[in-house]
Amino acid sequence: MQCKDVIEDHWLITARKIPSPNYNERPPGVDIDLLVIHNISLPAGEFGTGCVEQLFTNCLDCLSHPSFEELDGLKVSSHLYIDRVGEVVQFVPFNLRAWHAGQSEYQGRCNCNDFSVGIEMEGTDNCPYTDQQYQSLSNVTRSLMMAYPAITTDRIVGHCEIAPDRKTDPGAAFDWERYKGHL
Tens-digit pLDDT profile for residues 95-117: 999 999 999 999 999 999 999 99
- Could you give the domains of the chain? 7-21+30-180 (3.40.80.10)
Residue 8's SS3 state is strand
**pLDDT the model gives residue 1:** 47
- 120 catalytic? Reply is yes
Cβ partners under 8 Å of residue 88, min gap 6 = 5, 12, 14, 15, 16, 80, 81, 82, 136, 140
Task: Identify which of 31, 44, 46, 178 has the alpha carbon closest to the alpha carbon of residue 112.
Answer: 31
Is 5 within 8 Å of 147 (Cβ atoms)? no
Cβ partners under 8 Å of residue 63, min gap 6 = 69
Residue 137's SS3 state is helix
* Active-site pick, 120, 122, 161, 177: 120
d(CA 5, CA 94) in angstroms, rounded, equals 14
Is residue 5 pLDDT above 90, yes or no? no
* Global pTM value: 0.96
d(CA 119, CA 5) in angstroms, rounded, equals 15
Per-residue pLDDT, averaged over 154-159, amounts to 98
d(CA 150, CA 4) in angstroms, rounded, equals 20
